[in-house]
Amino acid sequence: MTHEDVRAQLTEAMERRRVELGLTWRQIAAKSGLSIEALRSVRKERREITPPTRRALEIGLEWPRGHVTAILESKLASDEAEPELRDDVERQLWAIKELGRDKRLDWIRLYRQQLAQEDAG
């Protein structure tokens, strides 16, 4: 993965977390101690993410210490492990590289939940 791909993955994770928490970017900026402009620069991949900025993001997004670094480092692995794919639909979802790893995993989880609901109902 390129540096740009890694940063895009972090941006996606940040957005998902913001939605989970039900917060605006202004609220996250206030909690983190970052200016809204600095936060926007991180999200738009224009700003280098220093250790203090990483920690501020973790505070603002209520992530544990080291979470941003873990996201960045895990995304740098060139040979991402493919999850166990159970059928053709999951293989097709996994093949959509433009979605990014986390988004593809989310769609596979949703698909599996739907199948479980259909089996239960």
Q: What is the pLDDT of residues 97-111, one digit of tens each?
A: 888 888 888 898 899
Per-residue pLDDT for 81 more than 70?
no
Do 95 and 69 fall within a single domain?
A: no
Do 54 and 106 fall within a single domain?
A: no
What are the angstrom distances between the C-alpha of 80 and each of 1, 67, 75, 102, 111?
9, 18, 8, 11, 21
* Stronger pLDDT, 93 or 82, i.e. the higher one: 93
pTM for this one? 0.60
Number of folded domains that form the chain: 2
Do 45 and 93 fall within a single domain?
A: no
Do 59 and 25 fall within a single domain?
A: yes
81, part of any domain: no
DSSP label of 33 = T
83, part of any domain: no
Do 17 and 42 fall within a single domain?
A: yes
pLDDT of residue 26: 96
Per-residue pLDDT for 33 more than 90?
yes
Tell me which of 1-5, 30-34, 80-84, 90-94 is least confident.
80-84
Count CB atoms within 10 A of the CB of residue 34: 21
Q: Where are the beta strands (DSSP E) in the chain?
A: none
Count CB atoms within 10 A of the CB of residue 18: 17
Do 11 and 61 fall within a single domain?
A: yes
108, part of any domain: yes
Q: How far apart are CA 63 and CA 13, in angstroms?
A: 11
Per-residue pLDDT for 77 more than 60?
no
Do 16 and 42 fall within a single domain?
A: yes
Residue 4 banded pLDDT, cuts 50, 70, 90: confident
Q: Which domain holds residue 25?
A: 3-75
